[in-house]
Amino acid sequence: MNRGPLRMFALSESRVLGDDIARAMGSVLAEVEETGFEDGEHKAYPAESVRGCDVFVVQSLYDEPGKSVNDKLCRLWFFIGALKDASAACVTAVVPYLAYARADRKTRPREPVTLRYVAQLFEAAGTDRVITLDVHDLAGFQNAFRCRTDHLEAGPLLVDHFAGRLQGEVVVVSPDVGGLKRAERFRRKLARRLGTGVGSALMEKYRSDEAVSGAAVVGNVCGKTVLIVDDLISTGGTVARAAHACREQGAIAVHAAVTHGLFVGEAAKVVADPALDSLAITDSVPPFRLSRETIQDKLTLIPIAPLFAEAIRQIRSNGSVSRLMGD
């Protein structure tokens, strides 16, 4: 495919991340004209020509004070529409954290499959491709979208972080059955990096309406260093349950590797809990809900800009994005 000149944009909410990705590519962001009106409406459009260009727009879709997930989605869709109206040849939405990704199926009668509706609105706005990072369920994500998609994984980045920090025998723990494949991919990568065997274990988890139960650990963690692997920490309840269960089964250390850190509700207490020795997350969502002390004591922030920059390079050169997963 013959691609036009590169233009990279980031809406104001993701300007810092957009700058980091552009810098990792040896480029700079193009300017966006954004205006907010007193009646709550918003306008955004490119401040320079995009005619015939290959455009990438960065917007991570998390909630923050004054800007809801829905606000950010609408702003992104409207900006993509403006780009297509301005004759951009191709528009790729770079969405490190994709809101509504967990709403990919019905769990009870008449429930909405919101991810599918989100996908349809991306496509209606003219989006040609979506790049995202560690969605909750890959099959659900791929089935929802009809435009091209690229799914990146933070596993190699988190493996790089933990490879030199884990002592003794290591066990990778999935906090529920739904995360087994993710945890297994992580375990294989970590074993290759360490050059030794890495065990696996599974946490029992049952959900009834909004209540979560189950405390059994399937697998041997006694006397071992545990690494809990998950895609998302929201309230932190899942990680807390797994950490305490592993401690009760004799784990000598418990760490967590999580892609997206939302840290809502009582999550700060979970991070500070002595049952958890450390937590590493990516900067797909800034940890603005945590105190500086909590971040300094327990949390490591892993930058994703180099990963997304390389993915964009591969797309523009018709290369392989899947090789970035390290499999």
Whether residue 218 contacts residue 204, with contact meaning beta carbons closer than 8 Å, is answered with: yes
Tokens 């320079």 found at: 48
* Token pair listed for 209: 């309406």
Backbone dihedral region of 168: left (phi > 0), alpha (psi from -120 to 50 degrees) or beta? Answer: left
Whether residue 236 contacts residue 167, with contact meaning beta carbons closer than 8 Å, is answered with: no
| Catalytic position from the list 72, 84, 189, 205 | 205
**269 part of the active site:** no
Alpha helices in the chain (DSSP H): 15-24, 69-85, 114-125, 138-144, 155-162, 180-194, 237-248, 267-272, 292-298, 305-316
* Token pair listed for 224: 């071992």
Whether residue 152 contacts residue 134, with contact meaning beta carbons closer than 8 Å, is answered with: yes
Question: What are the C-alpha distances in Å from 149 to residues 53, 88, 152, 315, 321?
Answer: 19, 18, 10, 11, 11
* Token pair listed for 156: 């190699």
The whole-angstrom separation of Cα 80 and Cα 77 is 5
Whether residue 300 contacts residue 273, with contact meaning beta carbons closer than 8 Å, is answered with: no
Residues annotated as part of the active site? 205
